[in-house]
């Protein structure tokens, strides 16, 4: 249990530091809204992962 708590604390600390160095282009509210939409899609379709196709560079 202690290892899990330390691991999660490290993950959160890393996220805070990286977010300061490389800030997101989207607001926290926008990211939350998009994640809620993905979660709704997962619940409806039963999919576990949503893969988004990236445009092909020429």
- pLDDT tens digit sequence for 10-56: 998 998 898 888 877 888 899 889 999 989 988 898 887 767 777 78
Which pLDDT belongs to residue 30?
A: 92
Which pLDDT belongs to residue 23?
A: 78
Asked if residue 43 is part of any domain, the answer here is yes
User: Does pTM surpass 0.85?
Assistant: no
Coil, strand or helix at 23: coil
The CA distances from residue 3 to 11, 16, 48, in Å, are 12, 20, 27
> Which residues span the domain enclosing 51?
25-58
Structural domain count, the chain: 1
Asked if residue 9 is part of any domain, the answer here is no
In the 8-state DSSP scheme, what is residue 54? P
Q: 50 and 41 in contact (C-beta within 8 Å)? A: yes
Asked if residue 10 is part of any domain, the answer here is no
Asked if residue 12 is part of any domain, the answer here is no
End-to-end Cα separation, the chain, in angstroms: 49
Radius of gyration of the chain (CA): 16
């Amino acid at each position: 249990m202690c290892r899990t708590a330390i691991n999660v604390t490290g993950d959160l600390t890393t996220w805070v530091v990286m977010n300061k160095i490389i800030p997101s282009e989207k607001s926290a509210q926008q990211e939350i809204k998009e994640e809620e939409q993905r979660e709704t899609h997962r619940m409806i379709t039963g999919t576990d992962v949503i893969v988004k196709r990236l445009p092909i560079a020429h």
